[in-house]
Amino acid sequence: MNANQISEYSHRDMPFKATDDMNIIDYGFVFYRNPEYVKRQYGKA
């Protein structure tokens, strides 16, 4: 991916969308991400 593709991808993620411009993204939003952005499978050993 190039820089523009990474930017477009990250800006479609819920934490970015839920945060107003120039504000810090709340770390807790990591638990409310869209499935295409989740890499970890919770509850599986």
**CA dist., res. 21 & res. 24, Å (int):** 9
User: 43 or 10: whose pLDDT is higher?
Assistant: 10
* Residue 43 is assigned to a structural domain of this protein: no
Residue 41 has pLDDT above 90, yes or no: no
Q: Can you give the residue range of the structural domain that contains 33?
A: 3-37
* Residue 42 is assigned to a structural domain of this protein: no
* Residue 44 is assigned to a structural domain of this protein: no
Residue 30 has pLDDT above 90, yes or no: no
* Residue 45 is assigned to a structural domain of this protein: no
User: Model-level pTM?
Assistant: 0.68
Q: Among candidates 5, 30, 36, 4, which has minimal Cα distance to 18?
A: 30
Identify how many contiguous H helices and E strands the chain contains and give both numbers.
Answer: 2, 0
* Residue 30 is assigned to a structural domain of this protein: yes
Number of domains making up the chain: 1
Across the chain, mean pLDDT equals 89
* Residue 26 is assigned to a structural domain of this protein: yes
25: three-class secondary structure by DSSP:
coil
